[in-house]
Chain A
Amino acid sequence: MLLTIQSLTKTFPGTKALDGVNFDLSAGEVHALLGENGAGKSTLIKCLTGAYRRDEGEMHLDGRLISPTSTSEAQELGIGTVYQEVNLLPNLTVAQNLTFGREPRRFGLINSRAQKLAALEMLQGYGLDIDVGRDLSSYSVAIQQIIAIARAVAVSGKVLILDEPTASLDAAEVRMLFDVVRNLRDRGLGIVFVSHFLDQVFELTDRLTVLRNGQHVVTEQTAGLDRLQLIHHMLGRDLEAVEEQGHTGHAPIVERPAMLHFTGIGRAGVIEPFDLTVHEGEVIGFAGLLGSGRTESAELLFGLRRAQTGEARDQSGPISIETPQSAIAAGFGFAPEDRKTDGIVAELSIRENIILALQAQRGWARPLPRAEQDRLAADYIKRLDIRTSDAEKAIGDLSGGNQQKVVLARWLAMNPRFLILDEPTRGIDVGAHAEILKLIDRLTEDGMAVLIISSELDELVVAADRIIVVRDRRHVSELTGSAVTSDTIMQAIAAEDHAPAQEVAR
């Protein structure tokens, strides 16, 4: 065995995140680490790399007892890690991030030319054509994710750990990543792979380990399990087939009254002016490649960036979407893509995070009564199955997927008429995934319109009534009704500019 972990235990105040977990990894395998949100996957990884101090447990690498107390020690031992939240430094350039701690030096000083060359070399094979001399923060989460992977791959001499690396990647990038991973496996590395996409698990991994509530459930050959068995291991119960599928109702939009009209919304250098009509109770999907301008479109709609052109109106006349506040007043909601910086208010409790938008709308002088707050919190903790010891826990201490659920809950509590969800299911486990899709379904029945941005084509197909394809900062085409399938979307995304994707008839 390359790496063995024995009876690892880690307790946080109020939570036993890991309870005597065993784990092993052999050289030349890809080992999936699975479990619901909050099962303890990220905690296991952080204990392994010394980011957390473990309470108990022994770890051996190559038969030698190891006990890294800092991530740099782990790196020196040959363990490269991509943590769940992109953990790179936004204020450094891409090249600095990639070579950090191992910068090429001449006469003891960093040689920045060699540094850039080294960075470019590290990025080879990921199909990324970017200026490595620019700050990391000028790139999207997805690109940062790839950069983080490239960096981890480069430092990992023996073990590579990927904690939900694919959460914000699109299909093409995922394929690229898999090629890289297989290549490394063939070179004899041991790879730990965490994901909530079961398809990817089955495609890529050799063995898998399932955790539940901080306890080890099972370790098996991936090939020896089927999807339903696996889900059973993860949830401790069965998930009904329909539930996992979600709904697939692409009701024709003609039946629905239009609710909002956006005309000519745009901003130079961000997105070309586009029109959008939103009907009551419909689910619109934005599809496109990374960096195509989906997030930017949504940000303009929500007033997070100011639109230079265009206007928004509903039945009663023009509405202002100049700032998030005015958009919210107009009944909009927006769950952002980057939950760490735009979503959660880390130190505040789950309860406070859930009521934040509601309270902001009521104004400071009319506090939501405490009983009402507790009721809302309890309600959403139950409905979204948020795993927490209680509603007063700081949201920053929740697992990634559970944080995402709280952010969703914040907007659901507002009961908006138009809800924009940017990558809403990022990092959410199968059970909750189904739950959220079901929830969207229920909300739209009550008349709420939802705009989903997702890199998961399957998810879009399942959820959306209408798909708008965005490419190169332009809204290029629209698919509706039965035309909404993974393949048609793919085609529309890939179509060349001068050969515009055909408008699929309704």
Chain B
Amino acid sequence: MNPRTFPLLATIAIFLVAYAICSAQYPTIFSSRVAGNLLTDNAYLGITAVGMTLVILSGGIDLSVGSVIAFSGVFIAVMLRDTGLHPLVIFALLLVVTTLFGAAMGGLIDILAMPPFIVTLAGMFLARGVAYMLTIDSVPINHDFYSFLQKSYYLMPGKGRLTFIGVLMLLTVLAGMIVAHRTRFGASVFALGGGTATARLMGVKVRRTTVQIYAFSGFMSGLAGIVFSIYTGSGYPLAAVGTELTAIAAVVIGGTLLAGGAGYMFGTLIGVLTMGLIQTYIVFDGTLSSWWTKIVIGVLLLSFILLQKGLVHLSTRQRGARI
């Protein structure tokens, strides 16, 4: 077996064990209802994380995603309020805008050789700033199409709801898997993660690929923004603060190397579900104060990463890694 898959396998194993432990303590957690909730509640996060995974695989980072989600919600809500356009048209417009926004960041990163951390940090300020400029109020979305989307779900046995946005998230992950692992573009992304200079010598069109990567992430953030607006039925410039960090954490838990070049899109799904499971567990417990909630999230994150490291270490130990 390729040692490269160890982090992924470790992630899956730990998730399953954790799910089993949680279910043992609160049997309701093992129900289609909670499973459905996990998908629905984390749909926007999952979609963002797909874009983030690709960016991280290329050795970059995208801090703008949370702000772009907020911007998207506000954009949709304001457009719906002020123009008579159909939501689908607005979605298309929005995706064009966020994709271009991502592409512009990618262009800056490559052309000016600026670190992604900083360019996307500026992007983060900018996107939220523009959202503020559109409106500082939270704007409700009242449109039949939206109600339709919100109400479209499949009732699983056990009253669990498999919602539209949950399914959309799964489909996005699938698409992400194909893009990352089954296309030449994906191969170039991994190549960039292995080292820009080397990738260039191997014949990767670095500039084009970088632009495409951030455009992809921009598109995914826009899509996540749409999902978020369906989820909350409104647009709010303060929404999704800090989502970028949650998404990064999910990607890393999913076994993707933050330095780039190694990881699996599927792991990201597991990472997202793990974050969701931690949340669910804390809600079910219901005794933690605000501050203990933060501490416990941190501790669970740490134990997860340590467990994963430990498992991977055990399985590769005999080679006696060099210092």
> Which A residues have a C-beta under 8 Å from some C-beta of B?
51, 70-72, 75, 81, 83, 87-93, 96-97, 100-101, 103, 105, 108-110, 133-135, 138, 267-270, 299, 303-306, 308, 323-324
Nearest CB of chain A from residue B182's CB, rounded to whole Å: 4
- 6 examples of A-B residue contacts, CB within 8 angstroms: A51-B201, A71-B203, A75-B203, A97-B202, A109-B183, A110-B183
The answer on a CB contact under 8 Å between B187 and A110 is yes
B: number of interface residues (CB 8 Å)? 32
B191 at the interface (CB under 8 A from A): yes
Residue of A nearest to B4 (CB): A135
The answer on a CB contact under 8 Å between B4 and A89 is no
A71 touching B190 in the complex, CB below 8 Å, given contacts A103-B184, A268-B318: no
Complex contacts, B319 vs chain A, CB 8 Å: 269-270
The answer on a CB contact under 8 Å between A51 and B184 is no
The answer on a CB contact under 8 Å between A110 and B194 is no
Nearest CB of chain B from residue A158's CB, rounded to whole Å: 16
Q: How far is the CA of A268 from the CA of B319 in the complex (A)?
A: 8
The answer on a CB contact under 8 Å between B178 and A51 is no
Q: How far is the CA of A303 from the CA of B320 in the complex (A)?
A: 12
The answer on a CB contact under 8 Å between B320 and A306 is yes
Task: Please tell me which one of the listed residues A51, A92, A110, A305 contacts residue B182 in the complex, with CB atoms under 8 A apart.
Answer: A110
Known: A72-B203, A268-B320, A306-B320. 16 other contacts (CB 8 A): A70-B205, A89-B198, A91-B190, A91-B193, A92-B190, A92-B194, A96-B190, A101-B184, A101-B204, A110-B181, A110-B182, A270-B319, A303-B323, A304-B323, A305-B320, A305-B321
Task: Please tell me which one of the listed residues B3, B198, B203, B320 contacts residue A270 in the complex, with CB atoms under 8 A apart.
Answer: B320
Q: How far is the CA of A51 from the CA of B198 in the complex (A)?
A: 10
The SS class assigned to the A binding surface is loop
Complex contacts, A323 vs chain B, CB 8 Å: 323
The answer on a CB contact under 8 Å between B2 and A92 is no
Q: How far is the CA of A71 from the CA of B201 in the complex (A)?
A: 6
The answer on a CB contact under 8 Å between A96 and B187 is yes
B200 at the interface (CB under 8 A from A): yes
Nearest CB of chain A from residue B202's CB, rounded to whole Å: 6
Q: How far is the CA of A109 from the CA of B4 in the complex (A)?
A: 21
Complex contacts, B203 vs chain A, CB 8 Å: 70-72, 75, 100-101
Q: How far is the CA of A387 from the CA of B319 in the complex (A)?
A: 39
From 199 to 245 in chain B, residues with beta carbon under 8 angstroms from any chain A beta carbon are 199-206
The answer on a CB contact under 8 Å between B201 and A83 is yes
The answer on a CB contact under 8 Å between A91 and B322 is no
The answer on a CB contact under 8 Å between B2 and A305 is no
Complex contacts, A90 vs chain B, CB 8 Å: 194
Residue of B nearest to A322 (CB): B323
Complex contacts, A100 vs chain B, CB 8 Å: 187, 191, 202-203
B43 at the interface (CB under 8 A from A): no
Complex contacts, A308 vs chain B, CB 8 Å: 320
The answer on a CB contact under 8 Å between B198 and A135 is no
Complex contacts, B190 vs chain A, CB 8 Å: 89, 91-92, 96
* Chain B 298-323: CB-based contact to A (< 8 A → 1; otherwise 0): 00000000000000000000111111
The answer on a CB contact under 8 Å between B322 and A108 is no
B261 at the interface (CB under 8 A from A): yes
B10 at the interface (CB under 8 A from A): no
Nearest CB of chain B from residue A480's CB, rounded to whole Å: 31
Identify the interface centre among B186, B190, B193, B203: most chain A CB within 10 Å of its CB.
B203
Complex contacts, A72 vs chain B, CB 8 Å: 203-205
> Which B residues have a C-beta under 8 Å from some C-beta of A?
2-4, 178, 181-184, 186-187, 190-191, 193-195, 198-206, 261-262, 318-323
Nearest CB of chain B from residue A402's CB, rounded to whole Å: 19
Task: Please tell me which one of the listed residues A88, A105, A109, A299 contacts residue B198 in the complex, with CB atoms under 8 A apart.
Answer: A88
Residue of B nearest to A303 (CB): B323
The answer on a CB contact under 8 Å between A134 and B184 is no
A305 touching B322 in the complex, CB below 8 Å, given contacts A51-B200, A88-B198, A88-B202: yes
Q: How far is the CA of A89 from the CA of B183 in the complex (A)?
A: 17
Q: How far is the CA of A74 from the CA of B199 in the complex (A)?
A: 14
Residue of A nearest to B317 (CB): A269
The answer on a CB contact under 8 Å between A109 and B182 is yes
Complex contacts, B4 vs chain A, CB 8 Å: 135
Complex contacts, B322 vs chain A, CB 8 Å: 299, 304-305
Q: How far is the CA of A87 from the CA of B2 in the complex (A)?
A: 22
Nearest CB of chain A from residue B54's CB, rounded to whole Å: 15
Q: How far is the CA of A51 from the CA of B196 in the complex (A)?
A: 12
Residue of A nearest to B198 (CB): A87
The answer on a CB contact under 8 Å between A89 and B199 is yes
Complex contacts, B2 vs chain A, CB 8 Å: 93, 133-135
Q: How far is the CA of A308 from the CA of B200 in the complex (A)?
A: 41
Complex contacts, B183 vs chain A, CB 8 Å: 108-110
Nearest CB of chain A from residue B174's CB, rounded to whole Å: 13
Complex contacts, A133 vs chain B, CB 8 Å: 2
Task: Please tell me which one of the listed residues B186, B191, B323 contacts residue A305 in the complex, with CB atoms under 8 A apart.
Answer: B323
Complex contacts, A101 vs chain B, CB 8 Å: 184, 187, 202-204
The answer on a CB contact under 8 Å between B318 and A269 is yes
Complex contacts, B321 vs chain A, CB 8 Å: 305
Q: How far is the CA of A96 from the CA of B180 in the complex (A)?
A: 13
Q: How far is the CA of A467 from the CA of B262 in the complex (A)?
A: 41
Residue of B nearest to A100 (CB): B202
The answer on a CB contact under 8 Å between A89 and B184 is no
Complex contacts, A267 vs chain B, CB 8 Å: 320
Residue of A nearest to B261 (CB): A91
Complex contacts, B204 vs chain A, CB 8 Å: 72, 101
The answer on a CB contact under 8 Å between A109 and B178 is yes
The answer on a CB contact under 8 Å between B200 and A71 is yes
The answer on a CB contact under 8 Å between B262 and A269 is no
8 cross-chain pairs, A with B, having the tightest CB-CB distances, nearest first: A72-B203, A89-B194, A91-B261, A109-B182, A91-B194, A87-B201, A269-B318, A75-B203
Nearest CB of chain A from residue B8's CB, rounded to whole Å: 14
Complex contacts, B3 vs chain A, CB 8 Å: 134-135, 138
Q: How far is the CA of A103 from the CA of B190 in the complex (A)?
A: 14
Nearest CB of chain B from residue A167's CB, rounded to whole Å: 17
Complex contacts, A83 vs chain B, CB 8 Å: 201
Identify the interface centre among A72, A96, A267, A304: most chain B CB within 10 Å of its CB.
A72
Nearest CB of chain A from residue B199's CB, rounded to whole Å: 7
Complex contacts, B187 vs chain A, CB 8 Å: 92, 96, 100-101, 103, 110
Q: How far is the CA of A105 from the CA of B182 in the complex (A)?
A: 9
Nearest CB of chain A from residue B158's CB, rounded to whole Å: 36
